[in-house]
Amino acid sequence: MVIRTEADLQRETAVGDGVRRARLLMDMDQATLARRANVSIGSVRNLESGKGSTLLTLLRVLRAVGRDNIFEQLQPQGQPRNGRYGGRERQRASSRST
């Protein structure tokens, strides 16, 4: 069972609001966005209302409104360290808890 925290709900609402604003700035209705993103109109409604979405739906919708560059921030910055892993990228996190 997945429990959504208040912070999760607030973030979902904020993402939905951002998608709605981006869509409206493009003067697009939900049906057009759904068609361009290749998702159902119900998926667009759920996303915009903060009721949750799949990652694939979010990716498609963000691409359709020209905002998929947000994921570039997830790319690692800088050069890999040549320490313990000899310049290789780590494959998993350590088993230590934070």
Q: Is residue 84 part of a domain?
A: no
Model pTM score: 0.71
Q: Is residue 98 part of a domain?
A: no
CA–CA separation, 77 and 33 (whole Å): 32
Range of the domain at 12: 6-67
CA–CA separation, 8 and 14 (whole Å): 10
Q: Is residue 94 part of a domain?
A: no
Structure-block tokens of residue 48: 């915009």
Number of domains, the chain: 1
Q: Is residue 45 part of a domain?
A: yes
Q: Which CATH number covers residue 62? A: 1.10.260.40
Binning the chain into helix, strand and coil, the percentages to the nearest 5 are 55, 0, 45
59-87, pLDDT tens digit by residue?
999 999 999 888 777 777 765 555 555 55
